[in-house]
Amino acid sequence: MERERLQQLAKAVRAALERDPRVNLHASPIRVTVEDELIVLEGEAEDICSKRAAARIAHQVAGQAPVADRVRLIPAERPEQHDEIDGRIRDELATALLDEPVFRDHDLGVVDKGERRRLRDLDPEDGEITFVVDHGVVTLEGRVRSLSHRRLAEVLAWWTAGVVAVENRLQVSPPEEENDGELADAIALILERDPMVHPEDLTITVRDRRVRVSGSLASAEEKALVLRDLCYIPGVHEIEDRIEVRH
Mean pLDDT, rounded, for 148-171: 97
Distances (CA, A) of 156 to 90, 159, 236: 12, 5, 16
DSSP assignment of 176-222, as one string? ----HHHHHHHHHHHHHH-TT--GGGEEEEEETTEEEEEEEES-HHH
Q: What is the pLDDT of residues 93-125, one digit of tens each?
A: 999 999 999 999 999 999 998 899 999 988 878
Q: What contacts 212, CB < 8 A, 6 or more positions away? A: 204, 205, 206, 240, 242
* Residue 159, pLDDT score: 98
Task: Give the phi and the psi of residue 49 in degrees, each rounded to 5.
Answer: -70, -40
Q: What is the pLDDT of residues 11-49, one digit of tens each?
A: 999 999 999 999 999 999 999 999 988 999 999 999 999
User: Does residue 232 register a pLDDT over 60?
Assistant: yes
User: Does residue 189 register a pLDDT over 80?
Assistant: yes
More confident site: 79 or 197: 197
- DSSP designation for 124: G
pTM of the model: 0.93
Share of the chain above pLDDT 70, in %: 99
- Domains and their CATH numbers in the chain: 2-73 (3.30.70), 83-172 (no CATH), 180-245 (3.30.1340.30)
Q: What contacts 205, CB < 8 A, 6 or more positions away? A: 184, 211, 212
Do residues 98 and 119 make contact, with C-beta atoms less than 8 angstroms apart?
yes
Mean pLDDT, rounded, for 139-166: 97
Spatial distance between the Cα atoms of 75 and 69, rounded to a whole number of angstroms: 17
Q: Residue 227, SS3? A: helix
User: Pick from 142, 140, 146: which is nearest to 172 by CA?
Assistant: 146
User: Does residue 1 register a pLDDT over 70?
Assistant: no
Share the mean pLDDT of the chain: 94
Which pLDDT band, with edges at 50, 70 and 90, does 83 fall under?
confident
Mean pLDDT, rounded, for 133-153: 96
Which pLDDT band, with edges at 50, 70 and 90, does 126 fall under?
confident
* Residue 31, pLDDT score: 97
User: Does residue 238 register a pLDDT over 70?
Assistant: yes
User: Does residue 215 register a pLDDT over 50?
Assistant: yes
Do residues 165 and 140 make contact, with C-beta atoms less than 8 angstroms apart?
no
Mean pLDDT, rounded, for 134-141: 96
Distances (CA, A) of 40 to 14, 78, 117, 137, 209: 11, 24, 34, 18, 23
* Residue 123, pLDDT score: 80
